Each structure stands twice: as C-alpha cells, then as structure tokens.
Chains A and B, each alone.
Chain A
C-alpha cells in the first residue's frame, strides 16, 4: 500500500520547515516526534484518514465520504507542492541556496514572509468587521477548522501541531513525545479508551463534591 507522497527533496524541505514550527530546544520538537512521517502518510491517499477506534488499523472509506476525502487530499497536496517551490524560490533569491540549506533564522524569515498575505487578508476582514459592528476583534472559540481554506504556512503549522500531538497511531507523536512535552497523560493506546479503562478522574479536584450553597431564603 502506498504510504508516502513526497519526493525526497520535498520531504526534506517540509521536515526542515516543520522544525521551525515546533523547534527543538531543551525539549524535543517536530523532528524528534516525526511530524513529517505524519503528513507524508496523510497525503499518500485516503487509506490513513481515520484510525479504527480500537487501534487495530485504519478505516476503509467508501462512497461519498471517500470521494470527499480524495478531493480534499488532492487540494492539500497541491498546496504543499507549490509551498515547497515557493520556499526554494525565496531561498534562492535571497541566499542563493535551497531552503533546507539555510540557517534557522533565515528559514523563519522566509516562512514569516510567506505567511504575510494570509495574515493581511485576515486582518482586513477583521478590520471590516470591527468597523461594521464597533466591537473589538478576537477569534471565536471552539470553531471547527476547514483545512482546505488554509494557505501553505498556516496549513503547515496545523499539520505540524497535529503530527506532534495526535495519537501515535497516525505516525507522528513518536513515543508520545508531544504529550510528554506539555504534560498530557494520554492513553497507552486507542484501545485503552475504547475498552473504557482510560480515566482522568485522578486529575479532578481533591474534593470531589461540589460545594452546594443553597439560599436560606
């Protein structure tokens, strides 16, 4: 079964860019967590979209659902292919080298510049709303994200985060590195949630009873 998408250069470039999204410092980063493996397999087709809930493998998609995922993966692949080209074009123009061979600071600068058009677009939309409604503008909480609407850098940031923090069955978060970095005691495997043995009750307040203050009146 095909389980990769990138050619070696694309893979190296995405890996280098991901290392800037979640950098390695005194704790592991995207590189150690294998986030490039996560996205490379995601883009390989529609065979790794949903893990089976008991952790025994992946769902086989059928019908309209499969068609929609095929369409979505095609769109996202194109964003990556163009994005890698843009990174190299900018790197050659400024430093006469490919993106993978730049210093981290130089890579950050290129990523920031590539991100700007999307940020400006968003800022303009928010300014328009602020003028219209006279309210300060902040992002709404709890919104579902639509991957296919994102530009390259925001998409890369999203996938790096997903590859760092998703259940290890998806190919990233190797040895639960991402969870350890932030202190999330995730389940040993999807099976532990599936069979009901995973509980977070020990992380509740020591006093398990709510204080009930009934009005005497």
Chain B
C-alpha cells in the first residue's frame, strides 16, 4: 500500500472518484438524499471565466484535452502487435469531465439496445451480452437527466425512439444550414430524421439563460456558462446541499481494502504532493472506462493480487470505444458549418436497429455536423493537400461549403480487446499508464461501410456537388466514448458488476461511468451514463435509508 503523509480526513458516507458526467450526477443525487460525499477529482475545478473562444488553445494545445506528455497511453493492434504511445480516446480530466467541452448529442438508447444478444444470438469472436437491466428500468432516469439539464429536442420526432414518460423540457435548437441539408436528403429518400437532442437550452430554463450560439463550442469550454454540462448543472446542485466536499487536483493512486475485503477508502495525492487516505462507507468509481479499469488494476492487495474486484480477470476486458466517421459533402450554396460550433445537428435512427438482411449485427446513430472541427485551423477535407496553392484554394472554396454526414459505429465487445497496465510507461505521477489492446471486429468495419454508404446517399439526395466516403479501417478512439471495462451482469463468472453496478466481489464498491455497459450500442453514451449513475445513486441512498 502507498504510505500517506497527510493527516487523515474525516470518514464520510460516500467517496466518489471523479467529478465528470457520472460522478457529478451521482453526487447530486446522493447529497440531495442527505448523504455526505467527498469527491476526489484529479483535474482542476475550472470556472467559466477560464474558458474562451480560442481554437488554437482548445483544439491544438491541450487547454482542455489531457496533455499527452503528462498522461500518456499506449496502444497496440493485438497482443503481439507493436506498442505505440498515443493520446488514445482522451477525455478532459477536470470537474465536469467530457461535458465541459462537448456539444452534447443526447439521444436515448432504445429498448433493443438492452437485449441485443437475445435478438441476434451468438456473433463469433464477440462477447455480445444482454444488459441485466431493461430500458423500462432506466426510463425514469432518462427523464430525470433530461429535465435536470433542460435538454432541447422534440419527443416523437425520432420515429424509432422507444417510449418516454415525458417529452423534452425545451423545444429543439434552431435549425442550422447543415441540419437543413440533412433533413432534405433524408426526406427525399423517405428516411426519418429529427433534430438532435442536445445539452443546450433553446430557451431560458430553470433560471438559466438560453445557450449562446457561438462558433466556439465543440471541444471548447463555455465562457458564458449557458450550455448544459455536469459542471454547470450537477456540481452546483450538489454544492448547494452543503454536503458535497469536492476536492480538485487530487489524484487517486489506489483504492484500499480492509481485512474483510471491503473497500476502505482512497489514497490520493493533492496538488502539493501530500498523500492522504480518505475513508468512506461506500466507494464509487467514476473515472471513465479506461481510467476506472486502470485504478482497479493499480489497486493490488493480498486479497486482490490481480487488482481490486478482478478475481474474474475481466477488469479492463470487453472495452469498446465507438468510431466516428463520415461521408463528406460539398455544396454550391453556403453551409457555414462552423455556425453554432458545427454540432447543432439533425439525426437519423433509420439504420440504428438490427436488421438480419444487412449481413452485420446492429447499427448506429447517423447525424450531420461540420467536417471534424469546422473552424479555420482544423477544418479539412479528406483529399486536401497538406500545403501549397492547392491547399489554399480548397480552404477558400470549401470552408463555407462543406459538411459531414457522420455516424457512430457500434463496435462489438471482444474478450481480448482490453485495458491493462503498461509497466514500461509511467505518467507524470509515476504510475503505469493504461495500455489499450484493440483489434476491430469484421462487424465493426462492415457496419461502418454500410452506414457511410447511407450517409453518402443522404448527401447526394440533398444535392451535394461532391461526396467523399471516409470508411473506417480500425477503432482510433476518436469519439472520447469509453465503455465495457467492468461490465455488469447477473453471472459473476462473466461480469464484474451486478445489476446495481456493484462489484460482485467487493460489497461496497460501485462503478457508475461507461464501464458497466455490456455493449457500447450505436448511440452517444453520456445521457445513458448519467441516467444509470442516477439510478445507482438512488439505489445506494435507498439502501442507506433502509439500514439507518
């Protein structure tokens, strides 16, 4: 065990590791139910005054992204493959986490997402599994999160969405020109499209003003504080209870256990380098699926020699990341895809559900956006030369005339795709970094090809003058979505957590980020991550109330 140097802080009811989407959601629920919570967040607690409309700082200079020199990861294509050091699937490490810099596409999963294994049967090479919970069980929490955030959307506009107990609290965001092209293309093809539900306010809500329609939004923090994020919503709610002790710049090195094998607390280092042990009755991990797995694997003890809660050797396995790619189109009329930041969008679930006739399993969320980050420095087209007169000409002709009909690939879980520790590479705190081993399944590539072909058809139907398909050839981690490393299930031999996201092996240890997801599904995960965190937090609070 790591030795501590600082005085022992008071024991609390719950210690949450991480204050991003899931950790802050859980903190809000637990503190509002009267529990005392300490949150240990490795990154800073930044206020809106530290965010700005600065493409260079935010996209190119790690103002919000983790600095790869301090937080490297390594990745390899297979267990025998060569290891590369790479900023694989980064997520901002700070209070609010990924919700600080997102534009927040917040679709719900569908009923079938929770039972895909039952629908499609065995898919060789994968560990496809049903979820131990159903859509019906999660539905009330989807509604809670949507109404806490003030999600802007139109109930029923997605004809493939599952039932909902309540509509959206705010009408859709205004229609961008790129959203309009997408609707026009889908309409011509007879496909359903809908305004993408977003973590932004189309009108004032709950005392918050409507969201400012800046160009500096996707991958930028919000200096106006008007977008919806864990930082702007859940953290203030939890702080208002007086029971949320949020400690930023506190890096957790290990989860400790007591002699009975229960989680005892967290050993962490603060900004001055002093090390403390925070004890709690319940420990919740909310670090994101990569860092949660890493922390469990780092937490070795006599009772858990292979890492905490890892008697099954499943911690870190079955990791999925999604992959984002697109068909890219150019148009004669101006698109201004930077307007709103490039992601005030329209979507389609036309090819989301599984269809046996397609030759692959499942499907994915299609949506329109700018090309990459559609701001001057980082905008590009797939065939633009790196420099010279030709590059300049393409910037001039197409910067305002291009968009991406994009999709999210639902990559399949595989036993050998995993997060492990890389003992050869240490981070700036001297601990082994996460090593990602990842081979795409043929199903991932086939799905990507199919969805991008459909995206290209939308662009053609919308009158694009040129269309380029950017097929995927591997999973690059470019979504900042992470799931599956401590999958939940009813069988301790095939899962790490039970249906309440509690460790099968450690009775007071929970995980509430994307790690519990048995499958990644084809939709953006954060709404479901927050809804599930809310569900688990309610369950923990119910249990405490019953025993006290």
Task: Please give the residue numbers on chain A whose beta carbons come within 8 Å of chain B beta carbons, in ascending order.
Answer: 20-23, 25, 27, 29, 49-55, 63-65, 68, 71-72, 108, 111, 115, 129-130, 132-148, 153-154, 156-157, 160-162, 164-167, 170, 178-179, 181-184, 186-187, 190, 192-196, 198-201, 203-205, 207-215
| Contact (A133, B212) CB under 8 Å given A200-B339, A203-B339 | no
A183, closest chain B residue (CB): B400
Name the segment of B6-14, B16-24, B53-61, B459-467 touching the other chain.
B53-61
Q: Are A143 and B445 in contact (CB under 8 A)?
A: no
A51, closest chain B residue (CB): B54
Q: What are the 3 tightest A-B residue pairs by CB atom distance, in nearest-first order?
A: A193-B53, A53-B52, A165-B376
CB distance from A175 to the nearest CB of B (A): 15
Q: Are B387 and A167 in contact (CB under 8 A)?
A: no
| Contact (A198, B336) CB under 8 Å given A143-B478, A204-B213, A212-B194 | no
Q: Are A181 and B54 in contact (CB under 8 A)?
A: no
| Number of residue pairs spanning A and B whose beta carbons lie under 8 angstroms apart | 237
The number of chain B residues touching the other chain, given as a range, is: 35 or more
| Contact (A182, B400) CB under 8 Å given A193-B53, A203-B336 | yes
Q: Are A140 and B478 in contact (CB under 8 A)?
A: yes
Within 8 A of A (CB), among B186-203: 187, 192-195
DSSP class of A's interface residues: helix, strand, loop or mixed?
loop
Chain A residues lying within 8 Å of B406, measured Cβ to Cβ, are: 141
Task: Please give the residue numbers on chain B whose beta carbons come within 8 Å of chain A beta carbons, in ascending order.
Answer: 49-57, 59-61, 63, 65, 67-70, 77, 86-87, 90, 154, 156-157, 159, 172, 174-177, 179-180, 183, 187, 192-195, 212-216, 223-224, 226, 271, 323-326, 336, 338-340, 344, 346, 371-373, 375-377, 382, 386-389, 391-392, 395-396, 399-400, 404, 406, 428, 440, 445, 449, 469-474, 476, 478
CB distance from A59 to the nearest CB of B (A): 9
| Apart from A71-B69, A200-B215: 5 A-B pairs, beta carbons within 8 A | A21-B388, A133-B473, A154-B386, A198-B214, A199-B214
Q: Are B176 and A205 in contact (CB under 8 A)?
A: yes
DSSP class of B's interface residues: helix, strand, loop or mixed?
loop
Q: Are B216 and A208 in contact (CB under 8 A)?
A: no
Q: Are B175 and A204 in contact (CB under 8 A)?
A: yes
Q: Are B157 and A212 in contact (CB under 8 A)?
A: yes
* 18 A-B contacts (beta carbon < 8 Å): A50-B54, A63-B271, A65-B70, A68-B67, A115-B386, A135-B445, A137-B473, A144-B87, A156-B387, A167-B54, A181-B392, A184-B338, A194-B53, A196-B224, A198-B212, A204-B177, A205-B175, A214-B156
| Contact (A209, B476) CB under 8 Å given A68-B69, A154-B386, A204-B340 | no
Q: Are B395 and A138 in contact (CB under 8 A)?
A: no
Q: Are B336 and A29 in contact (CB under 8 A)?
A: no
Chain B residues lying within 8 Å of A54, measured Cβ to Cβ, are: 49, 52
| Contact (A204, B339) CB under 8 Å given A190-B54, A199-B212, A210-B154 | yes
CB distance from B318 to the nearest CB of A (A): 20
Chain B residues lying within 8 Å of A145, measured Cβ to Cβ, are: 60
A191 to B176, CA, bound (A): 25
Q: Are A140 and B392 in contact (CB under 8 A)?
A: no
Chain A residues lying within 8 Å of B172, measured Cβ to Cβ, are: 209-210
A77 to B177, CA, bound (A): 42
| Contact (A190, B52) CB under 8 Å given A142-B324, A162-B60 | yes
B86, closest chain A residue (CB): A146
A129, closest chain B residue (CB): B473
Q: Are B90 and A162 in contact (CB under 8 A)?
A: no
